[in-house]
Amino acid sequence: MTALHLADEREAADLAAFLSRLLHYDRGAAVRLQASGTALAVFGRPPSFEVLAIRAVRLAKPYEDGLEVTLDVTVSAGELLESVDETAATAAVPGAVTGPPWAGVLPPRKGWQAAEPGLPAPDALRALVAAAVAEFRARTGELTPESRTRAELDRIGREIWSRTVARTDLPVRAVHAAQSLGFLRAAAAGPFAGTAGDSGEPVLLASGSWLRLRTPYGSIALRRAGSGGALGLSVR
């Protein structure tokens, strides 16, 4: 298997944490890997949130496998996680798998611009998610045994998580996904500081019908409500 040499132990640990969180929501999760030069992008789709998660990983040296200088393959998230050696800061690319439908499409690489209005402060975003979780638990806890059906739970969940953040078009479920996957945390000095903007805070980007919540630790991409398609990704 092809070896990936990650920039340092922290990169390896963060990659392992991201894969572990994906597997928490889907034990059979697959991820699509794209590497060129010293940049590795890892794409995954946690089914509970209906969004695409993107984790950028720095490599210690440009990717190269014989004459191949780029990597684009869909693999088992579990097998990739098992190959991560945090001490050595390496990972091995598992054999390719037949990816789920989402793996055949990715958001656009270019054309992203800051969306107006912008996002509330990170603390406010985290508080918004906490309030939504508390509301879901309270409302479902009030259901009688007879009415506590999967359909009713899903209805309440859709109502809460489809609400938008402040005056933006970003659904609350996208922020919930960012927090659950470890993307929405306090920025600190290190390899990811400032990658989402000069302040290192989350920013909301738009490209056509697509929205992207970008933080110093990863991105969440999805299509605006009413634009068609489950994820709103462009085939590439």
Do 167 and 67 share a structural domain? Answer: no
The residue from 106, 125, 149 where one domain ends is: 106
When pLDDT is cut at 50, 70 and 90, the band that residue 224 belongs to is confident
H helix runs in the chain, sequence order: 9-25, 77-83, 122-141, 150-161, 172-180
Among all chains, which residue has been given the structure tokens 């879901």? 136
When pLDDT is cut at 50, 70 and 90, the band that residue 105 belongs to is confident
User: How many domains are there within the chain?
Assistant: 2
Share of the chain above pLDDT 70, in %: 89
Do 81 and 9 share a structural domain? Answer: yes
The residue from 106, 140, 162 where one domain ends is: 106
Element (H, E) at 4: strand 2-5
Do 35 and 12 share a structural domain? Answer: yes
CATH of residue 50 = 3.10.150
Do 230 and 123 share a structural domain? Answer: yes
Do 191 and 82 share a structural domain? Answer: no
Task: Give per-residue pLDDT as tens, 145-190.
Answer: 999 999 999 999 999 999 999 999 999 999 999 999 999 986 554 4
Position 228 pLDDT exceeds 70: no
The residue from 48, 83, 106 where one domain ends is: 106
Q: In what order do the strands lie in the sheet with 113-114?
A: 70-76, 30-36, 39-44, 52-58, 218-223, 210-215, 203-207, 113-114
Show the domain range for 60: 2-106
CA–CA dist 98, 27 (Å, integer): 16
Average pLDDT, the chain: 88
pLDDT for 190 equals: 43
Count the neighbouring beta carbons within 10 Å of the beta carbon of residue 62: 12
Do 228 and 136 share a structural domain? Answer: yes
- Answering whether pTM is above 0.95, one says no
Do 163 and 133 share a structural domain? Answer: yes
pLDDT for 189 equals: 42
Do 226 and 124 share a structural domain? Answer: yes
What the block records as the tokens of 175 is 């922020």
Mean pLDDT of all residues in 203-229: 87
Do 17 and 131 share a structural domain? Answer: no
pLDDT for 188 equals: 53
